[in-house]
Amino acid sequence: MNFKIEEYISSKRQLVDKRLEKIFQAGNKKQSKLKESIRYSLLASGKRLRPVLCLASCETFGGRTSQALPVACAIEMIHTYSLIHDDLPSMDNDNLRRGVPTNHKVFGESAAILAGDALLTDSFNLIIKEGIKKEISSDKICELIATLSNAAGSAGMVEGQAIDLEFGSKKNVSPDDLKKLHSLKTGALISASAVSGAVVAGAKKDEIKHLKKFSDSIGLAFQIKDDLIDDTGAGKTGKSGGSDKKNKKSTYLTVLGEEKSLKLIDNLTTKSNGYLDRIDRDTSILKELANYLGKRNR
């Protein structure tokens, strides 16, 4: 098989980067501080795994990449908003993100908050505006907004961040506690990314049901792998290496240990691919993505 998942991810990432640059182009006039702050974080060298997952899902179910691209960009905007806010002094208080100083370190705390607010709000406007241009039906647009707002709000990422802050002072965090935390903070948007691509392509309800279970599993595997990578040192994730240890956070590594964490990643990946086997489509790209997420080193 000549297919290489790294090349696939790179090609899709370039599509997303090019479109984001066009949406948030600098122009000839001097930019406001807000727009500079937005561009600084959004156009930094991110992995773009969530938008790539959206595009791969759309292709799997017979959709066109061009239709899903605005949705993929909106997902990256939501993800970037969450990173900007998570890095704030009142949250995780991080100094490095995507290999550069965090937004609030460069532009100040108030500008960082507003940049995150703008990215979240503008993401939904992008889906509506570009969705109409791409002839996505109003029903699908509503479903996309419902899916992503649910993943980003109090039923998803925001609740996950609240739990994360609560666990900061909690001892004896259990594996179930961590599963709940990361299923919301990280997994919710990963799952919504896959589902959104399928919605654009017009996947059937039972297909989306299996896809949701697939993406829930890879979302958790992704976070466990992140915990392991964070412990290995700076540079690999673009964040300050060992930040979890420095902040005395409970992670899968501290709760389960490395060996059990690696085994859990393998089990979750196998489980996720099993859900794809229930879908009567060529799901090979999604399987390759699942395997990649569990074995990556950055």
Q: How many domains does the chain have?
A: 1
Long-range contacts of 266-274 (CB under 8 A, 24+ apart): 266/294, 268/217, 268/218, 268/220, 268/221, 268/224, 268/294, 269/217, 269/218, 269/221, 269/293, 269/294, 271/217, 272/213, 272/214, 272/215, 272/217, 272/218, 272/221, 273/214
Angle at alpha carbon of residue 186, lines to 166 and 171, rounded to 5°? 30
For the entire predicted model, the pTM comes to 0.93
Phi, psi (degrees; rounded to nearest 5) at 9 = -60, -45
Q: How far apart are CA 225 and CA 230, in angstroms?
A: 9
- Taking 3-state DSSP, the helix, strand and coil percentages for the chain, each rounded to the nearest 5, stand at 70, 0, 30
Domain that holds residue 47: 5-295
- Would you write out the chain's pLDDT as a tens digit for each of its 298 residues? 467 899 999 999 999 999 999 999 866 677 899 999 999 999 988 889 999 999 999 999 999 999 999 999 999 999 999 999 999 999 988 889 888 999 999 999 999 999 999 999 999 999 999 988 888 999 999 999 999 999 999 999 999 999 998 887 677 888 899 999 999 999 999 999 999 999 999 999 999 999 999 999 999 999 999 888 877 654 455 565 555 566 667 888 888 899 999 999 999 999 999 999 999 999 999 999 999 988 877 6
Q: What is the CATH number of the domain that holds 197?
A: 1.10.600.10
